[in-house]
Chains A and B, each alone.
Chain A
C-alpha cells in the first residue's frame, strides 16, 4: 500500500462514494498474484526449452499440453522423441524441483520471520539445514543410495527441530529461547558436518559432499521431486490456512495471548511445518541460502506485510527466482555452478538494492 502513496494520503471522501477499500486492497493483491503466476508459467516453459540440447518453446508448450490427461490428441506430435525425453525426464523434474524448493524456502522464510517477530530471520536460523546437511553428508560418506540420502537428510532436519523443541521447552519456550536453542543445536550439527567431511574419502566421497553442500539440482529426478512435493504439500497445508494468524504471531507474546491466540502452540505449529519444508528442500538440493531472506522482503515491497497475500506472493516469487537461478546454473557454463553460490552472488546485491531504495520503509521500527 505504501507503494501507492497518493492513494493513502488522500483524505477520504464521506458519503456513498466510499466503496470500502478492502475490495481494492484484495484486488491489488490478486493482480500481483495473477501476474506472478503468469510469470512463473512463462518461466517454466522457457526454462524447459533452454539448455545444451535445444527444444523450441512451441514444442515445449505442446509437449506439456499433450501430457495433460485427455488432451493428448489435440496436439499434432510436432516434436521428436528426444525432445519429449529431455522435457519430460531430464528437465521436467529439475524444473519442478526448483519451483517447489524455491517456493518452500521463501514461504518458510516469511513464516519464520513472523514467528520470531523479526524480518531479518532466515530459515537456516533454527539449525534445520545443518541437521539435514549432516544427514546428507553422512549418507554420501557411507556410500548410501540416493533414496537413503534423502531420507537421512530429512531425518537429520527433523531431529534438529525435535531437539530445539525439547531444549526450549525446558527454558520457558519464548521466541528468544527458541532462537538460541536453534543456534546451539545448529552449531553442534555444523560441527558434525565438518567432522564427517574431514573423515570422508578425499578421492571418492569428498568431492560429492562438497558439491552437495553447495546446493545443486543436477541429480533431481521424478522420485526426489515427488518427495519434495510431499513435504512442500504438508508444510503449505499448515501455513497457507494459518496465513492470517501469522499476522498475530508478529505481536508481543502477551499482546497476542490477550487477543486469544495460543501463541506458543501456534509458533511451534508454524515452525514444525517450516522445518519439514526446509528439511525436504535440503534433502533434495543441498543447502541453498538467501532465498528465505531476500524473497519475503521483495514480496513485502510488492504487497505489504499482510501474510494473507504475502505468503502466496512469496511462494510464486521464490519458485520463479530459484527456477531462473537453476537454469542459469546449468546453462551459462559447460559445467554446473553451485546454486548456493549463485543465489548469494545475485541475492546479496539485490538485497542491498532493496534496502537502499526502500530505506525508510524497511527500517521503520525494525
Chain B
C-alpha cells in the first residue's frame, strides 16, 4: 500500500507537471495511470518510487515498492535466473552472496509468471514480451507487495499483452497493490479498479468505471474517443474506440 498527499513536481524553472495529487494505491486493486507523452507519467512513478524528490507533498509507504521498468536487453549476458535474483538485493546484506533461499524465491517468481522453463536462457536473447515478464518476476522476487509498472505492455504483441494483463489481475486478486502506466485505454478498461488521468491542467483520480468514458478520454488525448459496452461471458466489458480520422 502506498499513499501520497498533495504530491507535486516540476523541474527547476519549468511548469508543474502535476500538482496536488492525493493518490492511494490500495492492496488488492489495480491502478492505471494514463496521459499523453510528456505529461509526467514516468515522473510520477519515479516520485512514488523515491527515485525523484517531489517538489511538494509527501509519499508514504509501509515498505519499498517493487519497480518494473521498460525492458532493455542490457550489454551483459545474464541468465534469466540471475536477472530475477537481482530482485533480492535489499534482502541480501552488502558483502554477502545470494543463498539457496534467494534462489528458491527467484524460481517461485519465475513460476508465477509462467517462465520457469526459461531460467537458464540468456536474458538478452529473449523476446521483448518474455523480458518484460522476467522483469515482473524480478519485482515479485523482492517479496514486496506494491508493484509499480512503467508501460509494461508498450512493446508487446497482443498475446503477450494478454499474458501480462492476466498476471497483473491475478496479482491484485492475491492482495498485491498494482499501479501501472499505460497508453492503452483498453487495458485500463479491462483491468483497472482506479484510474489516474493526467490532464494538462489537473490530475483526475477516481473509479475506473466512471473515468474511462468518452468525455474524459477525448479530453485527455485531444482526440475523439468513444466507449462501447459489449456483453462478454455473462458480464459487460468496455471497449474504447479512438477516432483517428478526426
Contact = CB atoms under 8 A, between A and B. Distances in A.
Contact of B97 (A119, A244, A257, A258): A244
A2 B122 contact: yes
A364 B69 contact: no
Nearest to B144: A260
B181 interface: no
B112 to A, nearest CB: 16
Contacts of A1: 79, 120, 122
B89 interface: yes
A259 B87 contact: yes
A361 B96 CA distance: 29
Given A1-B122, A8-B120, A20-B103, A247 B74 contact: no
Contact of A364 (B73, B95, B97, B120): B73
Interface in A178-203: none
Query: Chain B, interface size: which category?
Result: 35 or more
Nearest to B88: A259
B117 interface: yes
Interface in A217-239: none
A308 interface: yes
B131 to A, nearest CB: 11
Given A22-B81, A251-B74, A258 B122 contact: no
A261 interface: yes
Contacts of A259: 67, 86-87, 89-90, 138, 142
B226 interface: no
A356 interface: no
B92 A244 contact: yes
A241 interface: yes
B60 interface: no
Contacts of A114: 76
Interface residues of A, number: 40
A364 B46 contact: no
Contacts, number: 102
Contact of B94 (A8, A119, A245, A254): A245
Nearest to B124: A365
B109 to A, nearest CB: 14
**A contact face: mostly helix, strand, loop, or mixed:** loop
B74 A300 contact: no
Given A8-B120, A252-B69, A261 B79 contact: no
Interface in B7-63: 46, 49, 51
Contact of A308 (B97, B104, B116): B97
B15 to A, nearest CB: 23
B69 A361 contact: no
Interface string A13-28: 0000000111001000
A317 interface: no
A270 to B, nearest CB: 12
Contacts of A2: 77, 122
Nearest to A257: B51
A313 interface: no
B107 interface: yes
Interface in B73-123: 73-79, 81-82, 86-87, 89-90, 92, 94-98, 100, 103-104, 107, 116-117, 119-122
A304 B77 contact: yes
Given A305-B76, A365-B75, A11 B97 contact: no
A12 interface: yes
B75 A366 contact: yes
13 contacts: A2-B77, A12-B117, A20-B104, A242-B95, A247-B76, A247-B82, A254-B69, A259-B86, A304-B78, A305-B76, A306-B78, A364-B73, A364-B124
Given A248-B86, A250-B78, A259-B90, 11 more contacts: A1-B79, A11-B117, A25-B120, A242-B94, A244-B96, A244-B98, A250-B76, A258-B67, A259-B67, A305-B76, A365-B74
Interface of A: 1-2, 7-8, 11-12, 20-22, 25, 114, 117-119, 241-245, 247-248, 250-252, 254-255, 257-261, 300, 304-306, 308, 361, 364-366
